[in-house]
Amino acid sequence: SQQGEEDPQALSIQEGENATMNCSYKTSINNLQWYRQNSGRGLVHLILIRSNEREKHSGRLRVTLDTSKKSSSLLITASRAADTASYFCASGAGSYQLTFGKGTKLSVIP
């Protein structure tokens, strides 16, 4: 079942600003992942956070996870025009399946 839901659906910011996207999920998970998709292309893995972690950093990306609220956020700092893409969270509840959300479409205006 589709359990990840991103918020907002679309986000438009100026270059240099920070972008924050949120994800909610419904059932218990053992990990949550964020992916990026450039228009019409395959998804690319950005970062994975385990259920026993609360925060993780990778370059300009910061991910938080609140299992009590069943939510995660992705922060992109100092955004660039090249960050324009759709961002998806994917929750992993077992060994095999990842359930993707509907995505947030980010536009970074130069």
User: Strand pairing of 61-66 and 10-14?
Assistant: unpaired
Letters for 4-43 (x = contact with other proteins by CB under 8 A, - = none) are x-------------------------xx-x-x----xxxx
User: Among 13-21, 61-69, 73-81, 89-97, which window interacts with other proteins (CB under 8 A)?
Assistant: 89-97
Q: Does 88 bind other proteins (CB under 8 A)?
A: yes
Residue 76 or 88: the one with the smaller Cβ distance to other proteins is: 88
Establish if 100 lies at the interface with other proteins (CB under 8 A): yes
Look up tokens 């060994």; give the residue. 95
C-alpha to C-alpha distance for 56 and 74, rounded to whole angstroms: 10
Q: In angstroms, rounded to a whole number, what is the distance separating the alpha carbons of residues 29 and 32?
A: 7
Which span sits near other proteins by CB under 8 A: 53-61, 64-72, 74-82, 88-96?
A: 88-96
Interior CA angle at 77 toward 106 and 31, to 5°? 75
Measured CA distances, 108 to 33, 43, 45, 47, 88 (Å): 22, 19, 20, 20, 17
User: Interface with other proteins includes 59 (CB under 8 A)?
Assistant: no
Q: Which residues bind other proteins (CB under 8 A)?
A: 1-2, 4, 30-31, 33, 35, 40-45, 48, 50, 88, 90, 92, 95-103
